[in-house]
Structure 1
Amino acid sequence: MQERAIKTREAILLSAAEVIDELGFRGASIKKIIERAGVTPGAMYFHFPSKEALAHAVMLEQGEGLDLPAGEDGLQRLIDTTLYLAGELQTNAKLRAGVRLAIEQGEFGLQDDTPYQQWIQEFAVQLHAAYRKGELLPETNVDDLAWMLVSSYSGTQLLSHISVGRADLHKRVITLWHFLLPGIANPSVRKRLTFRR
C-alpha cells in the first residue's frame, strides 16, 4: 500500500475510533467519520466497504501503536502492563473504541473474540515467564489464569467506565491484583511487587 493510502486509512481509523468512543456504533455515522477524517466518501469506501467493516477493523486493531512497558518478562511486567492499559483506557480513543466495539459487536452482526484472545496471548507470555522463574505457585494453570485475568480485567474496566468514566481504573486494577495474587503468586515474590503507574 502506498504511503498516502496508509495515511488515509489511519486517518479514517482514528476518526472512526474517536466518533465511536464518543457515540457508540449506532451513533457513529459514516458522515461524521468522513468529516472528522477530512476524506471523501470514495476514499472511505476504498479502504472499508461498510461501516461494519470499519468498526471491525477498529476493534481488531485496538492494541496497535501501544507502547507496552519494557522490562524483564514475568509478573511485575504483567502488572505494569495492566496499569499502563488502565491509563490508556482513560485517554486513548483507539483503544477505548476497540474495547467498546468488542462489547457492542452484536449490534453490527459479529461474534468475534479475537481482541480478547490477543490480550489472553499477551498476558500468557508474561505468565509463562513468571511460571518458569518460580514466581507463580506450582499448581497454577497458566493458560486458565491468562483467560481469567483478561475476563476479570474486562469486567473491571467496564464497571469502572459505567460507574465513573474509568476515573478510578488504576485503583480498581490494583484491587484486582491484591485479591488475585495470594492465590497465584509465591509469597516471597508478592513482597517485592510494585504497583506504580
Structure 2
Amino acid sequence: MSRQRQDRALQTRAAIVRAAAEVFAEQGYAGASVTKITERAGLTMGAMYFHFKNKAALAREIVVGQPERVLPRHESVGLQRAVDITLTWAHQIREDPVLLAGARLVMEQEEFIGQEQNSHQQWARIFEQELAEAQKRGELNGTCDESAVARLIVNACTGAQMHAHMLTGYRDLPIRVVEMWRCLLPSLATPAAAASVDLNSDRGKST
C-alpha cells in the first residue's frame, strides 16, 4: 500500500472512530447502530466494515484506547504523575468525544468487552504502577495498599465524572478531582510527599 493510501486509510479509520464516539456518547451502546455511525461519518458501510468487524469492535477500540489519549503535559513520576493523569483526564473529557464516549460506554461494557480489557481494571493497573513508583520513592506511608488505592482512585473518578456530567456538564470535574486528592493524600502519603504534590487543577489543561 502506498503512503498516500495508508494516510487515507488512517484518516478514514479516525473519522469512523470519532463518529462512533459521538454517537455512543449521545445514545449509548444500545442506542447506537452501524448505520447511524456511518451516516455521522459520511462514509459507506463498506468503509466501516473494512476497518471494523461490527459495532462491538468499535466500542472496544474506544474503551481500550482511552489511556493513550490522556497524556499529561508535565513530566512527573509517582504520586504527582497519578495526580496529573487524573487532572488531564478531567479537563480533556470535556472536549474529547472519544473520552466522552468512554465515560458513557463504561456503564455498558459487559456488552462488548471481555473482563481482561475491563476499563476499570485497565485504569487501575495504570495507577497501581504509579503508586508502586511512589512507594519506591518513599512517598507513601507504610500501610498503603497500592492495589486497593488504585481501585479507589478509579472508583472515585468514575463517581465524580457521573455527578459532574449530571450537574454541570463536566465543568466542575477538575475541581472534584482536586477535592478527591485532598481527601486521599493525608492518609496515603508521607507528610512531606503530600505537601510537595501540586494540586493546581490547571496542571491538567492542554497548552
TM-score of the two chains, using structure 2 as the length reference? 0.85
Matched, 1:83 2:72: no
Tell me which of 137, 141, 144 is aligned to 2:141: 137
Is the partner of 1:103 in helix, strand or coil?
A: coil
Is the partner of 2:69 in helix, strand or coil?
A: coil
More deviation, 118-127/63-72:
63-72
Q: Are the aligned partners of 1:9 and 1:47 in contact in 2 as well (CA < 8 Å)?
A: yes
Matched, 1:56 2:44: no
Return the offset for 1:114.
2.5
1:6/1:124 CA distance change after superposition, 3 Å: same
Quote the RMSD (CA, aligned, Å). Answer: 2.0
Return the offset for 1:66.
3.2
Q: Are the aligned partners of 2:71 and 2:85 in contact in 1 as well (CA < 8 Å)?
A: no
Aligned equivalents of 1:109, 1:135: Cα separation in 2: 38
Q: Equivalent residue for 1:178?
A: 182
More deviation, 24-33/151-160:
24-33
TM-score of the two chains, using structure 1 as the length reference? 0.89
What whole-Å deviation, never above 9, does each CA across 1:103-151 have from its counterpart, x for those lacking one?
1234x35564532222112212221111111111011111221122112
Write out aligned runs for 1:1-20 (5 A).
2-20=6-24
Write out aligned runs for 1:98-109 (5 A).
98-106=102-110, 108=111
Amino acid at match of 1:13: V
What whole-Å deviation, never above 9, does each CA across 1:55-98 have from its counterpart, x for those lacking one?
22222222333323432311122112211110011111101101
1:110/1:80 CA distance change after superposition, 3 Å: closer
Q: Are the aligned partners of 1:86 and 1:170 in contact in 2 as well (CA < 8 Å)?
A: yes
Percent identity over the alignment is: 39
Return the offset for 1:170.
1.1
What whole-Å deviation, never above 9, does each CA across 1:130-188 have from its counterpart, x for those lacking one?
11111110111112211221122112212221222212111111111111111111112
What whole-Å deviation, never above 9, does each CA across 1:6-61 have from its counterpart, x for those lacking one?
32222101110012112222333322311221211111122222222222222222
Which residues of structure 1 form unaligned runs of 5+? none
Q: Are the aligned partners of 2:120 and 2:154 in contact in 1 as well (CA < 8 Å)?
A: yes
Q: Are the aligned partners of 2:59 and 2:112 in contact in 1 as well (CA < 8 Å)?
A: no
Matched, 1:21 2:25: yes
Tell me which of 153, 160, 168 is aligned to 1:156: 160
Amino acid at match of 2:74: A
Q: Are the aligned partners of 1:137 and 1:184 in contact in 2 as well (CA < 8 Å)?
A: yes
Aligned equivalents of 2:59, 2:78: Cα separation in 1: 33
Aligned equivalents of 2:82, 2:70: Cα separation in 1: 15
Which residues of structure 2 form unaligned runs of 5+? 203-207
Amino acid at match of 1:20: F
Q: Are the aligned partners of 2:57 and 2:112 in contact in 1 as well (CA < 8 Å)?
A: no
1:180/1:66 CA distance change after superposition, 3 Å: closer
1:67/1:78 CA distance change after superposition, 3 Å: same
